[in-house]
Chain A
């Protein structure tokens, strides 16, 4: 279970954003809606464990993440949280397989090529496993970034505008894969978007005002 309690953050004294409390049950799939500037990215970063809120508590699977030491927090993030960005952002100097293996080692997990193959297989890009990122299409790259997010079987899968730079066909495919992968890996999922095409697939909605 994931919960945020009386979380607020201020980048400066004048500008303070408060977030209403939020409880997410395991394996739930949530949509995070909000206009630009409503603090959507801020909340995602707080949930991800890369931005410490000015006040409040974030609990993921009984761990209050911002009480962890920096080193522990990094490891916790690597093992329990998978993130998908608007654009794929793979490491260009590494092959697809190496990009995924890197995610395993940064989480201090053993390198597991079988798991890499399994994930790539389930996303239909196993044929590209030894290719470099610049040899892949945008749609394929987004699949790899999903693969990277789920490689360590995270408890929480966070997607930040995963479909907004894709066409209708690819957007539908990516959404399909996200739902499929969160189910496959029993991960709780939060998708932040303002993309109307995505809305219908979700019943749980957390809206920022």
Chain B
């Protein structure tokens, strides 16, 4: 019978106090695990999604909101920007590549993004099955979308107006899935991609429907109606343009989607934001200032805003971290008191063990193992608890973009494990030393 087994049996012989100690440790470790996993995932998501994008240009408003809506697809967009302005910017010499984004629709909470082939280039996308969108209302969907909504190539679905909710469904046009992306480990896993014209047409037709409904009541809105008709014409030319685009794309030619010669056709059109890659480091200094001062638009840097966001979250994370450390400390004291008290009762037991031939070192081991067993079980339970709790939290998160998962293992968790072990040793070392030093003759003669 090894000292370890004696410790094990001893832990089991006082289930209530052992359970209390284990729970305290598990609770503290659990909170630390959640914090560790969540902040690692948030940090990773922030980095992964913005690493190739230098600047976002959108409507005036909160720069953080602009970044959240256009890089992470979490918040609502700040508004729309005229396509004409966006085109001008994308031909600026500072700009290497500009990706237009048109948001406004969703399918079961998944954002439908109108964009062009530059998006594919910037995010280095590949399809696992099917192809990239070509014609209007063709969509290529992210791997998670395919998985969660059980969509496959050839399926069709209706988009709904707005970024969440499905009350206002666009019944006029159905989107058709033509391709599924390989898992990217970033936001594109949870997006539905199509061309910009699809988003425009969807809305134009939608508005026309509404206009037609109200036509009888509002006889005086002819002027507005005419505008809609105009818009319809533009749609036609727009889809022509996109098919030309797609031809070029299949030929393998890369170029800016929005061409100046078509600017006239796009009069009055709007997009949501423009993602920009700089041509040179010089642009970092010059370009954002130029956008903010010379135009009616706003430029926001993903790197800067992410840092700002993370520092805001950081305060909360720090507080929780200290809270968890405090719980761990209380747990350590509890284990110490538990062992110290039980040592008083057990000093006679330990003395008897010595008379049976146990060495001092073995008594030391018995007590220290007991402390380690309690904290180790607590730590493992806590790590497990943390993972499941985070997974549970993840399933209740509304935004699929920011969804956290508990089912990943981080290398850093080894530190939690080590901390648990250290707490066990720390709490047990004094009682264990006492057991080691005890004068058995004195203890035995007292009874």
User: Chain A interface (Cβ within 8 Å of chain B)?
Assistant: 41-42, 45, 48, 50-51, 70-71, 74-75, 77-79, 81, 83, 85-87, 89, 91-94, 98, 101-108, 111, 148
Contact = CB atoms under 8 A, between A and B. Distances in A.
A2 B237 CA distance: 116
B349 to A, nearest CB: 5
A207 B2 CA distance: 41
Given A41-B445, A91-B6, A93-B10, A106 B358 contact: yes
Contact of B354 (A50, A79, A85): A50
Contact of B444 (A45, A75, A81, A104): A45
A160 to B, nearest CB: 8
Could you say which of B9, B12, B440 has the most chain A C-beta atoms within 10 Å of its C-beta?
B9
A185 to B, nearest CB: 16
B353 interface: yes
Nearest to B360: A70
B355 A83 contact: yes
17 contacts: A41-B445, A42-B445, A45-B445, A50-B444, A71-B359, A74-B360, A77-B356, A89-B352, A91-B349, A91-B352, A91-B353, A98-B1, A102-B356, A106-B356, A106-B358, A106-B362, A148-B356
B357 interface: yes
Residue of B352, B355, B445 ringed by the most chain A CB atoms within 10 A: B355
Interface of B is mostly: helix
A50 B349 contact: no
A24 B9 CA distance: 40
B28 to A, nearest CB: 27
B362 to A, nearest CB: 7
Counting contact residues on chain B (CB < 8 A from A), the size range is 20 to 34
Given A42-B445, A75-B357, A78-B358, 9 more contacts: A70-B359, A70-B360, A74-B354, A77-B356, A85-B352, A89-B348, A91-B353, A102-B1, A102-B353
A107 B444 contact: no
Interface string B410-447: 00000000000000000000000000000011001101
B250 interface: no
Nearest to A94: B9
Given A91-B6, A98-B9, A108 B357 contact: yes
Interface in B329-386: 348-349, 352-360, 362
Interface in B1-21: 1-2, 6, 9-10, 12-13
Contacts of A42: 445
Contacts of B362: 106
Contact of A74 (B12, B348, B359): B359
Interface of B: 1-2, 6, 9-10, 12-13, 348-349, 352-360, 362, 440-441, 444-445, 447
A48 B1 contact: no
Given A45-B441, A105-B2, A111-B1, A50 B9 contact: no
Nearest to A77: B357
Contacts of A111: 1
Identify the interface centre among A42, A83, A94, A102: most chain B CB within 10 Å of its CB: A102
Q: Closest 9 CB pairs between A and B?
A: A78-B357, A93-B13, A51-B441, A106-B357, A107-B357, A106-B358, A93-B9, A106-B356, A102-B1
A82 B114 CA distance: 88
Nearest to A95: B9
Contacts, number: 76
A111 B2 CA distance: 11
A101 B440 CA distance: 21
Contacts of A74: 354, 357-360
Nearest to A102: B1
A104 B356 CA distance: 8
Nearest to A103: B356
Contacts of A106: 353, 356-358, 362
B395 to A, nearest CB: 42
A6 B89 CA distance: 107
Given A50-B355, A87-B447, A107-B357, A101 B13 contact: no
Nearest to A75: B357
B361 to A, nearest CB: 8
A45 B445 CA distance: 9
A98 B10 CA distance: 12
Contacts of A104: 1
B13 A92 contact: yes
A71 B354 CA distance: 11
B14 to A, nearest CB: 8
B12 A93 contact: yes
A105 B445 contact: no
Contacts of B445: 41-42, 45
A50 B441 contact: yes
A99 B223 CA distance: 99
Given A50-B440, A94-B6, A89 B349 contact: yes
Contacts of B360: 70, 74
Contact of A105 (B1, B440, B441): B1
Contacts of A98: 1, 9
Nearest to B349: A91
A107 B356 contact: yes
A100 to B, nearest CB: 10
B13 to A, nearest CB: 3
Taking each of B2, B10, B441, which has the highest tally of chain A beta carbons within 10 Å of its own beta carbon?
Answer: B441
Nearest to B358: A106
A18 B26 CA distance: 57
A78 B356 contact: yes
A98 B360 CA distance: 20
Contacts of A78: 356-358
